[in-house]
C-alpha cells in the first residue's frame, strides 16, 4: 500500500502522489524569529522531520524548505524601547532556533530562506495579483497594497469558510482597505518604524505582509506547484488561507496537500503567553537528554494535541531506556558470535503499514516496543539468531524515527561521548582481569572486580565471557 496522508484542505486521507515521481517538495512555515523557541516550535519542526525521513526511507528524494520570518510586526514590536536593532534580534533568535532544532536531531532544511532575501519575488507576485484584478494599491497615500478578498471566489476554500462568515483581517489598520477582510500584501512605511525595515517597491517604500512572504519563498524554491505545505494548526487561518488565495489568484497551482500538526497543551491547558505557561526549549533541554526529548516530542500522532505534563519526560526516558537496554544487552551478547552484525535490517512490515497510514507513529512505536520485548525474550531463551534479527529491526525502526541511540548524531553529544569513553575503559579493565585470571593471578582479578563494584559496575561471568552492567 502506498503512503496515505490526511489532507486538511479536502479533510480526507488519500494516497500520496508526488508531482514528479520519486521527488517530493515540502514547504513548512518556519518560525517568526521574535522570541525564544518553545515546545510548540520544536514539536512542529519534529513532526515534519519525521515525515521527511519516512519519505526518504521510502525511496524519495526530498526537497525540504523551511523559512525564517525575519521581518514582521512582532519582530519590530519586540525591539521597541530596547537598544537592539530588529535585524539583530531576528538573527539572535534564529540562532537559538537552529541550536534547538539541531539538539533534537531535526535535519537541516534543504533550503532555509529568510523573508528579507525574497522581497523581489514578493513584488513579482503582488504585481501579478494587481494585473489580474485580485489586489489593489490603497487610494490613500499609505503605500499599502491589499488582496481583494471579494474578487477571489475560492477565498475560504482551505478552512471551508464563506467570506461572509470570515473574521476581519487584523494584520493592518483599516486605512486604505475596501473591505475589512482584505489583507495586506505590502505595508507602506509608517512614521516611527525603523528606516532599515523598509524596502523600495513600485508602490512606495514599505515592507511585506506576513502571508506573501511564504507564497514567495515556497514557490521560489519549489516551483509554482509543489507537493506538501505543512505548519501548525494555528496557522491554518488566516495565514495559510491567505497564502493559498493569493498564490492561486496569481495563477500558481500551489500546494497539492496541506498538512497541519496539532498544538501542545501544558498540564491540560492551552499554552499561551497570557497564561504564562509557555515551556521553552532551553528548559526542556536542561531537564532531559536531547534524545529523550526527541522521543517524547515525536511519540504522539502529528495531528493530535501533544500533552505536556509533569513526568512526561520521565515516561519518555523510561520508554527509551527499554530500547537502549535491549540494544546494549543484545550487542554484548551477540558480540563475538556468528550473529554479530553491524547491518541494519529493513523495518518490519507492520511498522511500514503504520507509517504509511498518515504517519502513524504511535502504532509504529508499538511495533518497535513489541520487537524489543520479543528480542529480550529471544536472548532469555538463547535464541541468538532470533535476537540478531530483532536487533536489526529495532535499529532500522529507531533510525527511521531519528531515535537510534547508537547513531552518531546522539553519540557526539556530551553524555553519549562520555558513555562511549566509559564503556571502552571498562572493557579494557575486563580484559586485564581476564588476563590476570588466565595467569591465575586471582588477587589482581578480584581487585579489578572490587574496584569496578565500588564504582557501581557489576560483572557477570558467563560461558561467553564477562559482561558488565551499571548497578540499579
Interface residues toward Zn ion, by CB under 5 A: 29, 214
Pick the closer one to Zn ion by CB: 138 or 214. 214
Query: Dihedrals φ, ψ of 420, to 5°?
Result: -65, -45
CB of residue 284 to Zn ion, shortest distance in Å? 24
Pick the closer one to Zn ion by CB: 115 or 436. 115
CB of residue 407 to Zn ion, shortest distance in Å? 31
User: 523559512: which residue's cell?
Assistant: 67
Q: What angle do CA 207, 84, 82 make, to 5 degrees?
A: 100
Type and span of the H or E element at 99: helix 86-103
CB of residue 68 to Zn ion, shortest distance in Å? 11
User: 494585473: which residue's cell?
Assistant: 131
Pick the closer one to Zn ion by CB: 29 or 137. 29
Pick the closer one to Zn ion by CB: 254 or 339. 254
Q: Supply the DSSP string of 198-256, one letter for each residue.
A: -B--TT-SEEE-HHHHHHHHHHHHH-SEEEEEEEEGGGIIIIIHHHHHHHHHTT--EEE
Half-sphere exposure of 206 (CA within 13 A, CB side): 22
Give which of 434, 441, 351 is closest to 396, Cα–Cα: 351
CB of residue 211 to Zn ion, shortest distance in Å? 7
Torsion angle, alpha carbons of 246, 12, 262, 48, to 10: -70
CB of residue 277 to Zn ion, shortest distance in Å? 25
Pick the closer one to Zn ion by CB: 60 or 246. 246
How does DSSP classify residue 69?
Answer: B
Pick the closer one to Zn ion by CB: 29 or 255. 29
CB of residue 97 to Zn ion, shortest distance in Å? 15
SS3 content of the chain, % helix, strand, coil (to 5): 50, 15, 35
Pick the closer one to Zn ion by CB: 60 or 218. 218
Pick the closer one to Zn ion by CB: 60 or 219. 219
CB of residue 235 to Zn ion, shortest distance in Å? 6
* Strand-pair category, 184-188 with 206-208: antiparallel
Q: What CA–CA distances, in Å, run from 83 to 78, 97, 103?
A: 11, 22, 30
Sheet holding 264-266, edge to edge: 269-270, 264-266, 306-308
CB within 8 Å of 355: residues ≥ 6 apart? 3, 54, 347, 361, 364, 400
CB of 198 closer than 8 Å to CB of 206? yes
CB of 57 closer than 8 Å to CB of 344? no
Pick the closer one to Zn ion by CB: 46 or 365. 46
CB of residue 212 to Zn ion, shortest distance in Å? 10
Give the Cα separation of 214 and 232 in Å (integer): 14
Pick the closer one to Zn ion by CB: 234 or 446. 234
CB of residue 169 to Zn ion, shortest distance in Å? 15
CB of residue 399 to Zn ion, shortest distance in Å? 30
Give which of 336, 337, 320 is closest to 394, Cα–Cα: 320
Amino acid at each position: 500500500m502506498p503512503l496515505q496522508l490526511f489532507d486538511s484542505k479536502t479533510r480526507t486521507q488519500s494516497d500520496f502522489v508526488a508531482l514528479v515521481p520519486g521527488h517530493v517538495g515540502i514547504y513548512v512555515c518556519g518560525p517568526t524569529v521574535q522570541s525564544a523557541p518553545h515546545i510548540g516550535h520544536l514539536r512542529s519542526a519534529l513532526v515534519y522531520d519525521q515525515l521527511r525521513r519516512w519519505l526518504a526511507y521510502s525511496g524519495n528524494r526530498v526537497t525540504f524548505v523551511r523559512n525564517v520570518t525575519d521581518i514582521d510586526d512582532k519582530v519590530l514590536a519586540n525591539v521597541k524601547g530596547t537598544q537592539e536593532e530588529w535585524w539583530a534580534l531576528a538573527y539572535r533568535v534564529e540562532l537559538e532556533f537552529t541550536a534547538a532544532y539541531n539538539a533534537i536531531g531535526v535535519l537541516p532544511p534543504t533550503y532555509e530562506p529568510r523573508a528579507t532575501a525574497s522581497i523581489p519575488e514578493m513584488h513579482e507576485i503582488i504585481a501579478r495579483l494587481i494585473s489580474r484584478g485580485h489586489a489593489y494599491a490603497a487610494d490613500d497615500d499609505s503605500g499599502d497594497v491589499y488582496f481583494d478578498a471579494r474578487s477571489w471566489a475560492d477565498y475560504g476554500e482551505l478552512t471551508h469558510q464563506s467570506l461572509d462568515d470570515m473574521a476581519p483581517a487584523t494584520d493592518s489598520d483599516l486605512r486604505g482597505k475596501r473591505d475589512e477582510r482584505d489583507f495586506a500584501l505590502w505595508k507602506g512605511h509608517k512614521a516611527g518604524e525603523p528606516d532599515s525595515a523598509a524596502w523600495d517597491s513600485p508602490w512606495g517604500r514599505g515592507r511585506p505582509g506576513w502571508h506573501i512572504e511564504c507564497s514567495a519563498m515556497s514557490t521560489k524554491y519549489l516551483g509554482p506547484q509543489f507537493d506538501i505545505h505543512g505548519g501548525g494548526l494555528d496557522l491554518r487561518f488566516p495565514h495559510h488561507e491567505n497564502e493559498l488565495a493569493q498564490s492561486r489568484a496569481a495563477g500558481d497551482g500551489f500546494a497539492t496537500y496541506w498538512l497541519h500538526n496539532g498544538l501542545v497543551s501544558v498540564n491540560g491547558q492551552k499554552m499561551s503567553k497570557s497564561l504564562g505557561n509557555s515551556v521553552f526549549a532551553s528548559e526542556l533541554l536542561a531537564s532531559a537528554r536531547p534524545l529523550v526529548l526527541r522521543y517524547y516530542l515525536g511519540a504522539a500522532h502529528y495531528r493530535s494535541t501533544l500533552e505536556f505534563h509533569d513526568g512526561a519526560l520521565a515516561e519518555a526516558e523510561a520508554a527509551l531506556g527499554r530500547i537502549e537496554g535491549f540494544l546494549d544487552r543484545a550487542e554484548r551478547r551477540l558480540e563475538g558470535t556468528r550473529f554479530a552484525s553491524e547491518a541494519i535490517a529493513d523495518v518490519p512490515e507492520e511498522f511500514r503499514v503504520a507509517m504509511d497510514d498518515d504517519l502513524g507513529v504511535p502504532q509504529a512505536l508499538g511495533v518497535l516496543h513489541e520487537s524489543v520485548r520479543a528480542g529480550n525474550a529471544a536472548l532469555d531463551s538463547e535464541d541468538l539468531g532470533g535476537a540478531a534479527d530483532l536487533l536489526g529491526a529495532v535499529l532500522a525502526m529507531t533510525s527511521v524515527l531519528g531515535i537510534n541511540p547508537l547513531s552518531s548524531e546522539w553519540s557526539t553529544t556530551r553524555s553519549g561521548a562520555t558513555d562511549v569513553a566509559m564503556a571502552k575503559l571498562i572493557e579494557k579493565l575486563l580484559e586485564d582481569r581476564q588476563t590476570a585470571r588466565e595467569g591465575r593471578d586471582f588477587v589482581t582479578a578480584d581487585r579489578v572486580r572490587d574496584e569496578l563494584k565500588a564504582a557501581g559496575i557489576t560483572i557477570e561471568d558467563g560461558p561467553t565471557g564477562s559482561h558488565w552492567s551499571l548497578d540499579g
